[in-house]
């Protein structure tokens, strides 16, 4: 019975989001839709590495931005198609994640948190200062998404917001489906085991470093590819792509949704992408709002929404290991 509920809810959500441009197709609405799809991917990526594997990571924005720059540079200098560039960006991000993960996880999870933060800061500084490569604060403007011929529909230019929305939506659904399968598989259970009780997990033969690196690289790759695509919607990439704003938004979504809760984080990412926009919050107000939410959450309910609601209703929303 519960499975049927869940499936109809999912199908409903997919249906709503697929027809979104028809009933809310203003440029403003589409922008919102693209943002929602983007953050669904970003927050679930962070959820994978923080919620399921227990590694607080500030590096997500670094992967996002590096892949964005990679994609932009490949397109500008070598005429790489957008998708290929984004994939390369995701690959580079994954490699970077592996590097810092391997280097710092030998020490502790806390070292990883700090190194991940430094990576994000360093990326912003380097993108700003290495002018000969990245053009520094001047950015790389003029990025243009491709025009593709689809059988039956004709030419579709992904520069148009509606088309780009479908692109982001498809990518988001793909990533979410993939990650869902991952966390409900043996690998996912290994992640949880390590997060909850590392020595016990080790005694069961689970190699923490290997699994953690896996989580990091997958999370980095999906975040990176999202960045590699998104810069084509922005038409420009500059050091502001590494802004702390993205990190803070992702953290809010994961923490409120409940680290380790797949649907909780997804719901939170939906809410937190949309609510500040709907309330016509300026960026500053939005960030104040996030900050207050974060402080309140840390004081009152560090386990997220899933930890607040009573057991019967909360089970699907909680971290699987807490249910």
Partner 1 sequence: MLVSSMRATAMGLAMTMVVSPATGQDAIRVGSSIPLTGNLAFFGQHSRWGAELAIEEANAAGGALGRKIESDFQDNRCNPAEAVKSVSQMLSDNRYVAIHDGLCSSVILAIMPLIERAAIPLVVANGSATAIAEKSGVGGNKWTFKVNPSDASLAAALVGYLVAKMPEKSKSIAYLGESTDFGRSGSQGFEIALAKRGLKLASADYYQQGTADFTAVFTKIRAERPALLALYAVGADFQNVIRQYVSFGMNIPLTGRVLTDQIPPEILQSGVLDGTTSVQPYVPEVDTAQNKAFSAAFQKKFNSLPNLLSRESYETMRVLIDAIKRAGSAEPAAIRDALEKTSLESMLGATLEFDANNLAHDNAVIIQIRGSKIEVIGLNKT
Partner 2 sequence: MGPGVDLGLPLQLLINGLVLGVLYALIAMGLALIFGVLEIVNFAHGELYMLGAVAAYFLTTSLSVGYWGTIALTTAGAVGLGALFYEGLLAFIAGRGFERSILLTLGVSMVLQNGALYVLTATPRMETTPYSYRSVILGDVSIPLLRVFALGLALLAFAALYVLLHHTRMGQAIRGVAQNRAAALMVGIDTHAVSRLAVAIGVGLSGLAGAALAPVYSVHPTMGVAFVFKAFAIVIIGGLGNLPGCAVAAILLGLLESVVGGFFSPTLVDSLGFLAMIMLLLFKPEGLFGRGVRL
- Choosing among partner 1, partner 2, none, which partner's interface includes residue 236 (Cβ < 5 to 8 Å by kind)? partner 1
Q: Where are the alpha helices (DSSP H) in the chain?
A: 2-23, 27-46, 60-78, 82-105, 109-129, 131-134, 161-183, 186-196, 198-203, 208-234, 244-257, 262-278, 283-300, 304-308, 311-314
C-alpha distances in Å from residue 45, one per residue of 57, 178, 245, 316: 10, 11, 16, 19
- Choosing among partner 1, partner 2, none, which partner's interface includes residue 115 (Cβ < 5 to 8 Å by kind)? partner 2
Q: Which is nearer to partner 1, 31 or 248 (CB)?
A: 31
Q: Which is nearer to partner 1, 90 or 139 (CB)?
A: 139
* Residue 90 DSSP SS3: helix
Indicate whether 291 belongs to the interface with partner 2 (CB under 8 A).
Answer: yes
Q: Which is nearer to partner 1, 136 or 316 (CB)?
A: 136
Interacting residues of 207 by C-beta distance below 8 A, sequence separation 6+: none
Residue with tokens 């975040």: 223
Indicate whether 255 belongs to the interface with partner 2 (CB under 8 A).
Answer: yes
CA dist 285 and 220 (Å) reads: 29
Closest to 17 in 3D by CA, of 178, 172, 161, 145? 172
Which residues are bridge partners to 237 per DSSP? Answer: 140
Indicate whether 138 belongs to the interface with partner 2 (CB under 8 A).
Answer: no
Indicate whether 114 belongs to the interface with partner 2 (CB under 8 A).
Answer: yes
Indicate whether 285 belongs to the interface with partner 2 (CB under 8 A).
Answer: yes
State the residues that interact with partner 1 by CB under 8 A.
27-28, 31, 128-129, 131, 136-139, 141-142, 144, 159, 161, 234-238, 240-241
CA dist 272 and 284 (Å) reads: 15
Q: Which is nearer to partner 2, 56 or 267 (CB)?
A: 56
Cα 17–chain centre separation: 18
- Choosing among partner 2, partner 1, none, which partner's interface includes residue 196 (Cβ < 5 to 8 Å by kind)? none
C-alpha distances in Å from residue 164, one per residue of 62, 88, 254, 287: 23, 20, 25, 26
Indicate whether 95 belongs to the interface with partner 2 (CB under 8 A).
Answer: no
Q: How far is the CB of 109 from partner 2 (least distance, A)?
A: 8
- Choosing among partner 1, partner 2, none, which partner's interface includes residue 139 (Cβ < 5 to 8 Å by kind)? partner 1
Chain positions contacting partner 2, by CB under 8 A: 56, 103-104, 107-108, 110-111, 113-115, 117-119, 121-122, 125-126, 129, 131, 248, 251, 255, 282-285, 287-288, 290-295, 297-299, 302
């Amino acid at each position: 019975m519960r499975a049927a509920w869940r499936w109809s809810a999912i199908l409903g959500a997919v249906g709503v989001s697929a027809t979104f441009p028809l009933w809310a197709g203003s440029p403003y609405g589409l922008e919102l839709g693209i943002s929602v799809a983007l953050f669904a991917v970003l927050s679930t990526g962070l959820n994978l590495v923080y919620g399921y594997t227990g590694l607080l990571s500030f590096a997500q924005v670094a992967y996002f931005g590096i892949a964005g720059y990679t994609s932009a540079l490949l397109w500008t200098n070598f005429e790489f198609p957008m998708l290929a560039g984004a994939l390369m960006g995701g690959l580079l991000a994954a490699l970077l994640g592996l590097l810092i993960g391997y280097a710092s996880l030998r020490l502790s999870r806390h070292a990883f948190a700090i190194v991940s933060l430094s990576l994000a800061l360093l990326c912003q500084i380097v993108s700003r200062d290495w002018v000969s490569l990245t053009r520094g604060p001047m950015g790389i403007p003029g990025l243009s998404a491709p025009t593709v011929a689809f059988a039956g529909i004709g030419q579709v230019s992904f520069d148009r917001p509606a088309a780009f929305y479908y692109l982001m939506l498809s990518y988001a659904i793909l990533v979410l489906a993939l990650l869902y399968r991952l966390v409900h598989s043996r690998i996912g259970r290994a992640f949880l085991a390590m997060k909850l009780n590392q020595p016990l997990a080790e005694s069961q033969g689970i190699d923490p470093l290997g699994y953690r690196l896996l989580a990091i690289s997958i999370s980095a790759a999906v975040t990176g590819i999202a960045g590699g695509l998104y810069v084509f919607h922005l038409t420009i990439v500059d050091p502001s792509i590494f802004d702390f704003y993205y990190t803070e938004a992702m953290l809010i979504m994961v923490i409120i949704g409940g680290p380790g809760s797949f649907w909780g984080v997804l719901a939170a990412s939906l809410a937190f992408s949309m609510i500040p926009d709907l309330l016509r919050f300026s960026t500053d107000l939005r960030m104040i709002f996030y900050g207050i939410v974060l402080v309140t959450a840390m004081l009152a309910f560090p386990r997220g929404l899933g930890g607040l609601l009573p057991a019967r209703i909360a089970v699907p929303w909680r971290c699987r290991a807490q249910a």
